[in-house]
Amino acid sequence: MQRIEVAVGVILRDEKVFISRRADHLHQGGKWEFPGGKREADETFEQALCRELREEVGIDVETQRPLMQIRHDYPDKQVTLDVRTVTAFRGEPRQQEGQEALWVSVSDLHRYTFPKANLAIVNALQQR
Ligand SMILES: Nc1nc2c([nH]c(=O)n2[C@H]2C[C@H](O)[C@@H](COP(=O)(O)OP(=O)(O)OP(=O)(O)O)O2)c(=O)[nH]1
Ligand SMILES: [Mg+2]
C-alpha cells in the first residue's frame, strides 16, 4: 500500500478552530476534519497547504507554523499528516465544497469525532 502525504491546517482565531465534515463517500467519510488534502509531487507541504486552504475554504494563508507530523495506518490506507497551525490569513473561511463547517472552541474539540490519526492533534491543541 502506498503512503499518502496530506497537508492539514489547524486554522486558529480567538481560541477557536475551523473544522469541516468529510463528505460521506470519502475515506473516513462523515467524520470531522481539519481542512487540507494531498500534497502534489511538485509541492512542499507549505505550498500544498496554501493551495488546499484556498480551494477548500477560500482563504489565503499568511502565517503557518509546523505543529506535528503524524504517520497513521488505517486498515485501507496509510497516511502521513503534516499538520500546521494557521494563525493569520486573508478572507473569511467558508467551506467551498458544500460540506458542513463550523468554528469550535479548542476546549470543545474532543466532543467531535475525527479520524483516528487526529487524536494527537486534538491532544496537542488542548495542552497548549
Ligand atoms: N484533510 C484531512 N485529511 C485527514 C485528516 N485526518 C485524516 O486522517 N485525514 C486523511 C483522510 C484521507 O485519507 C486523507 C486526505 O485525503 P483527501 O482525499 O481528503 O485529500 P484531498 O482533499 O486532496 O482530496 P482528493 O485528492 O481526493 O480530491 O487524509 C484531517 O484532519 N484532514
Ligand atoms: Mg481534502
- What atom of ligand 1 comes closest to residue 121's alpha carbon? 31
Ligand 1 midpoint to CA 79 (Å): 9
CA-nearest residue, atom 21 of ligand 1: 37
Of the listed ligands, the closest to the CA of 4 is: 1
Give the range of the structural domain holding residue 75, as residue numbers without chain letter.
3-126
Q: 56 Cβ partners below 8 Å, 6+ apart?
A: 20, 35, 36, 37, 95, 96, 97
Q: pLDDT for 60-98, tens place per residue?
A: 999 999 999 999 999 999 999 999 999 999 999 999 999
Ligand 2 midpoint to CA 20 (Å): 10
- The CA distance from 55 to 35, in Å, is 10
Q: Which helix (H) or strand (E) holds 47?
A: helix 45-57
- The CA distance from 92 to 58, in Å, is 7
Ligand 2 midpoint to CA 88 (Å): 20
- Structurally, how many domains does the chain consist of? 1
pTM recorded for the entire structure: 0.96
The enclosing domain of 21 has a CATH number of 3.90.79.10
ipTM: 0.95
